[in-house]
Structure 1
Amino acid sequence: MTEETDVVVVGGGIAGLITARELGRDGLRVTVLEARDRLGGRVWTDHRLGRDLEIGGTWLHWVQPHAWAEVTRYGLEVTRGPRPEEAYWLAGNEVRKGTLDGFMELIDPGMRRLLHETMRWIPRPDAPTSAAGLETVDRFSVQDKLDELALPVEEYHANEAAWVGHFNAPLEDGAFTSALRWTAATAGSWHLMHEASAVFRLASGTRTLVEAIAADADADVRTSAEVSRIEHGPAGAVVTTSSGDRIQARRVVLTLPQNILGDLDVSPRLCAEKRAAGREKTAAKGVKVWIRVRGPIEPFFAYSSAAHPLSVVRTEFLGEDDAVLVSFGADSRRISPHDVDAVRAALRVWRDDLEVLDVTGHDWMADPHSRETWLMQRPHQLTRYFAAQQRAEGVLHFAGSDYANVWAGFIDGAIESGLRVAREIRTAH
């Protein structure tokens, strides 16, 4: 037996839920199929280490217009972690200790030089491929452009570690244009970009946003409903789940990340650009580790380098007798978020006075429903594939943070893309 509906949305992350909410308001029958047993996708609040932790996407900011509109719409409270009172970084193999302001002053010259042509190449972040000749700069990695600066070793390692934290990837894999896109979203200010991408979070967790959107969506939302095949033509599509359910729809919205979109059985198959991007994968392949240590401690942050398993660590929660740190590494194959001994060793790069009590996280690279963390493109991907990744193919439409214009890779980007695709379908009807 084949069900019928107007629109099937594949994926119950933020982009899929926004799409469903908007189309439901237009009176369309919408069915959301989410493969996981929960909603949210790469946004996931879970109670671990005695706290509600963000296992995936976390930070948002008032310069992210789509996310902030949802914060306002649902009256969500925003907070931040404790401001670091101590800072640690490396100069070669020597550990330096100072303040947050001192570290920012250290990296400022390199950041300014690296990003001084941001607005030339990305003059409008809402149209990221609009600049003439963009392909001439899209061929470079961040590593290429950082090496051109010939910075002193202490400045180099500090800037390198800061960008590894942003990219969640080895810098030789990450496109320089991805750094430009983030900075263009804050009108060329690297300070504001840094703050917007790593400081403010929802006080009661991203789950509150997921729950609010889902409750507001007039849609049939199903979890543990993995899609195995899509057959499409001019008049509509048939979506088949792994359990054998068949749903016929006039339109289908695919919200799968770049790294797994090409794995889906779609007939006729997707365009060559989408498939090529899927084969190449995104640059980001890192790890996010939550670490509970014995307290009390002074809040701190630390940067190492791309050569270390953990490149960035900072205090996110303070308790009377413990603290919880959040950390990032460039390559998930080099450290497990569940390996206490490996995390202890990684922290000793900066300091040996922290008693690690427990660690946790999620291997997003091994997760069959993501195979990536957040979007950071490789060289050439923006100019070769991005327009095609956004483009509808007949009755198939494509949403997701990976395909956003302004804040690709962020919650804001997921919301933007969901609104865009809902408008496409609304217009088509």
Structure 2
Amino acid sequence: MIRFSLFLPSLVNVALPRIVGAVAVELEIGVGDDAVPLCYKARYSSRIYSVLFTVLFFHPNSPKMTSRDGFQWTSETGLTQGVPSIGVISPPSNISAAEAGPWDVIVVGAGYTGLTAARDLCLAGHKVLLLEARDRIGGRSWSSNIGDYPFEMGGTWVHWGQPHVWREISRYRMREELENSFDFSRGVNHFQLRTNQSESVMSHDEEDTLLASGLAKFVDVDGAMGRKIIPYPHDAFHVPEARKYDAQSAADRLKEIALSLTPNERAALESFVLLCSCGTLETTSFFEFLHWWALCGYSYQGCMDALISYKFKGGQSSFAIKFFKEALSTGNLSYSFNSPAQSISDQGDKVTLITRSGSQYTGSRLVSTIPLNVLNTVAFSPPLNSQRTAAANTGHVNQCVKVHAEISNKDMRSWTGITYPFNKLTYAIGDGTTPAGNTHIVCFGGFHNHIHPEEDINETKTAVQNMAPGNMDIKRLVFHNWAKDEFAKGAWFFSPPNMLSTSLDALRSRHGNVLFANSDWAVGWRSFIDGAIEEGTRAAFTVTEELRGPSASRSRL
């Protein structure tokens, strides 16, 4: 028997049989919409019929699960590894012995690309297995809820100018769940620039003027602020001449305009470019920065709006869980977390994946969302082509250091600052107010003057305090070391020179029954959440079209 009794829109009392041998035991559990997911899955069998049912539980009073990922520090507890997140999935697998496969599709990775692909494929009626190396969803975009405040550990900001992510925000009715990171309504309300030569405090209007001026000189390669060289940001090489800028580094471009920049312009400009790439000026592709600029509407204000302004009130994990929840509700999703891939073999009529623990899964198709920088840690058979292999061995350059600081100074909510090039962190903003009444500051660094925050917490605290000496009374630090994360080996994609012009098509190509989808090689908002959804949508559509035919024949793309 299966009984559902609806008492409230967000609370359902469920009585379900749990089969233990021949004995049926009723189980009653409250169900809500916005809490930790729990899955109850069972099969009732008799000589007459067999029924498989799955119920997804979101209990509003369930404790938040703790991920192995992330670190936090307070003076009381010291440094601890592992932080709570609503993105942690429990139980970590819903695969029963009766469901050994094969599946229609195996999706590797539960970041936004994998979540989108898995959801779309499940909605299309396919039997999907989602495998994830971590204990949580979200990949490089996830949030930790500490003290009822969401700290964004990776990708954070979204915008209505990003078509794929905005469709999903609208679809899940989350338009009113956004807030602005900036609040200049009270407090110090200024920008602080600290360089080797000087220290300046200026208004935010002066900050905008300084950055807009430097950026305009940097990107204006065609007399039209990049509009002629990249007129179609989602087809960035539409103008063949654009390819030559992929051979240039940011350092190369800075040499060309050096005489036109004031010292403050140059410091602010370099810091902003490195905020985007989190590499070095020498390893940052000038073309990829031009591409970001074009996506943002060819303006400094467009960059600020799209890159660092609008975030979810409940954190990224409150968005990602919607995808997972919907996929699971179809009854077509099997999943297993803590399951890193060791090998993927395409045998013509099927694809077999073996995990590091030795578990083996098969499917008709496989969608790999493995990021570029870890693609070479998985053995593929047949081997990947030389271009994809070379790109994976080179990798992207982003080694972002993102450190959240909860400080006691309430007036710093309206502060922004650049401390460059001597500090371990270079760019920071006031990003919120915690329930304790403290100010949340988010700080960024990169491969330039790199730091591993957990290795020397005093050095990390000093780097935060150097952003605004005397005004950073630190109560808590929260961070994720993306550089040492074995399943990322870096944060969002940013290319070195000569990668995109030579390898983008190869990275996007399929490998027999294996399709590769990741924001790292999206054509639009590459490296963004929007690009991840773009790629997951592309992969799911391709697979659905192929499996729809009576022979499930595959077009060779």
TM-score of the superposed pair, with normalisation by structure 2: 0.74
- Asked whether the equivalents of residues 295 and 321 of structure 1 are also in contact (C-alpha less than 8 Å), the reply is no
Output the amino acid matched with 1:79: E
- 2:351 corresponds in structure 1 to 237
| Displacement after TM superposition at 1:348 (Å) | 2.3
CA pair 306-393 structure 1, distance change in 2 beyond 3 A: farther
- Secondary structure of the structure 2 residue equivalent to 1:133: helix
Indicate the structure (1 or 2) with the bigger Cα radius of gyration.
2
Q: How many residues in Structure 1 have an aligned counterpart in Structure 2? A: 429
- 1:352 corresponds in structure 2 to 470
- Asked whether the equivalents of residues 236 and 395 of structure 1 are also in contact (C-alpha less than 8 Å), the reply is yes
- 2:215 corresponds in structure 1 to 111
Matched, 1:93 2:221: no
Identify the match of residue 210 of structure 1 among 309, 320, 339: 320
- 2:431 corresponds in structure 1 to 316
| Displacement after TM superposition at 1:349 (Å) | 5.0
Matched, 1:157 2:267: yes
- 1:277 corresponds in structure 2 to 391
- 1:78 corresponds in structure 2 to 178
| Displacement after TM superposition at 1:147 (Å) | 2.7
Distance 2:473 2:510 in 1: 52
- Asked whether the equivalents of residues 129 and 382 of structure 1 are also in contact (C-alpha less than 8 Å), the reply is no
- Asked whether the equivalents of residues 518 and 531 of structure 2 are also in contact (C-alpha less than 8 Å), the reply is yes
- Asked whether the equivalents of residues 107 and 367 of structure 2 are also in contact (C-alpha less than 8 Å), the reply is yes
- 1:135 corresponds in structure 2 to 243
Output the amino acid matched with 2:237: T
Distance 1:147 1:305 in 2: 18
- 1:421 corresponds in structure 2 to 539
Distance 1:37 1:259 in 2: 20
Distance 1:326 1:353 in 2: 14
Structure ranking higher in strand proportion: 2
| Displacement after TM superposition at 1:144 (Å) | 1.5
Distance 2:361 2:437 in 1: 53
Distance 2:421 2:118 in 1: 40
- 1:293 corresponds in structure 2 to 407
Matched, 1:330 2:446: yes
| Displacement after TM superposition at 1:50 (Å) | 6.0
- Asked whether the equivalents of residues 424 and 449 of structure 2 are also in contact (C-alpha less than 8 Å), the reply is no
**What whole-Å deviation, never above 9, does each CA across 1:273-331 have from its counterpart, x for those lacking one?**
11111111111112100112122223201012244211101111225652121000022
- 1:187 corresponds in structure 2 to 297
Matched, 1:199 2:314: no
Distance 1:49 1:293 in 2: 14
- 2:498 corresponds in structure 1 to 380
Identical-pair percentage: 27
Q: Over aligned residue pairs, what C-alpha RMSD do you find?
A: 1.8
Output the amino acid matched with 2:430: T
Which runs of 5 or more structure 1 residues have no equivalent in the other structure?
Answer: none
- Asked whether the equivalents of residues 292 and 358 of structure 1 are also in contact (C-alpha less than 8 Å), the reply is yes
Distance 1:47 1:256 in 2: 26
- 2:134 corresponds in structure 1 to 36
Distance 2:236 2:542 in 1: 19
CA pair 192-259 structure 1, distance change in 2 beyond 3 A: same
Output the amino acid matched with 1:369: F
Distance 1:88 1:231 in 2: 54
Distance 1:333 1:146 in 2: 19
Which runs of 5 or more structure 2 residues have no equivalent in the other structure?
Answer: 1-96, 548-557
Identify the match of residue 485 of structure 2 among 367, 371, 390: 367
Distance 2:345 2:542 in 1: 20
Output the amino acid matched with 1:93: Q
TM-score of the superposed pair, with normalisation by structure 1: 0.95
- Secondary structure of the structure 1 residue equivalent to 2:182: coil
Between stretches 33-42 and 314-323, larger displacement belongs to: 314-323
**What whole-Å deviation, never above 9, does each CA across 1:339-363 have from its counterpart, x for those lacking one?**
4422342232542232122212011
Distance 2:502 2:546 in 1: 27
